[in-house]
């Protein structure tokens, strides 16, 4: 199917990587369902992208099941299908980030709800249509903090480790369905989240999300059913 007929749901799409992916998908001709917590910023994003494609925007918290259900229901009502799910929205936790010994468990629960539970909930909501069509793409955004032991990154890293394993199991369960599941590590970027993680740090040497976003365009045509990709290697043509 031409991407001009496809519909992509992108969470956390009002800024950072989500915004840049939405811009590139719009140029590619995909119709968009966008969500983020900040209504004004999301509205500005939607208005910008309507010059390129059809856009549905609905502000809210993806960890709120009622919002997730409304988002998918409204998207299906407007477009009739959801072909691509980009689980990009992430919760960092307290800033500056504390060591695990001092991490409030309530804050950790919030991180898990946004970074693990919400992506699963959205996948559950879009999968019936994907299975029925025999095709679909789910991309979960991860971090090397999910595989490396960085002090103070334990809560966030644990959530990304859980998301990665969830993705592997989901891909195994979807084998033969035509639905692809990918995990993408965008690498360090100069974003608001990274600045919150390291207050006062000079991040000017890091790439912006607009440099990384083309990796998620590459994955639209990736035939494998599962893969964990590092964005910079993917953009360099390395697909291990």
Residue 57, Cβ density class (10 Å: 0-12 exposed, 13-18 middle, ≥19 buried): buried
Kind and range of the H or E run holding 185: strand 179-185
Classify 53 as helix, strand or coil: coil
User: Pseudo-torsion of CA 56, 2, 239, 170, nearest 10°?
Assistant: 60
What is the C-alpha separation between 122 and 19, in angstroms, rounded?
19
- Measured CA to CA, the distance from residue 22 to residue 53 in angstroms comes to 10
Q: Which residue in the block uniquely carries the two structure tokens 């692809």? A: 180
Catalytic residue among 79, 108, 156, 229: 156
CB 86 within 8 A of CB 11: yes
Residue 25 bears catalytic tag: no
Q: Which residue has the tokens 């719009």?
A: 26
How does strand 55-57 pair with strand 179-185? unpaired
Catalytic positions: 156
């Amino acid at each position: 199917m031409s991407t001009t007929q496809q519909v992509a749901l992108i969470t956390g799409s009002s800024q950072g990587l989500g915004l840049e992916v939405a811009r590139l998908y719009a140029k590619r001709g995909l119709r968009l369902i966008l969500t983020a917590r900040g209504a004004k910023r999301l509205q500005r994003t939607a208005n910008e992208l309507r010059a390129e494609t059809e856009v549905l925007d609905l502000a809210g918290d993806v960890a709120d099941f009622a919002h997730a259900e409304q988002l998918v229901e409204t998207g299906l009502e407007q477009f009739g299908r959801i072909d691509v799910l980009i689980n990009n929205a992430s919760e960092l936790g307290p800033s500056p980030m504390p060591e695990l010994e001092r991490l409030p468990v309530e804050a950790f629960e919030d991180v898990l709800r946004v970074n693990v539970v919400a992506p699963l909930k959205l996948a559950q909501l879009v999968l019936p249509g994907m299975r029925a069509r025999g095709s679909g793409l789910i991309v979960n955004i991860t971090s090397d903090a999910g595989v490396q032991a960085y002090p103070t990154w334990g809560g966030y890293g644990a959530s990304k480790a859980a998301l990665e394993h969830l993705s592997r199991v989901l891909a195994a369960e979807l084998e033969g369905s035509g639905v692809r599941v990918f995990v993408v590590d965008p690498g360090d970027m100069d974003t608001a989240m990274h600045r919150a993680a390291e207050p006062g740090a000079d991040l000017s040497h890091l790439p912006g999300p607009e440099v990384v976003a083309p990796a998620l365009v590459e994955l639209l045509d990736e035939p494998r059913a599962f893969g964990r990709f590092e964005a910079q290697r993917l953009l360099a043509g390395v697909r291990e």
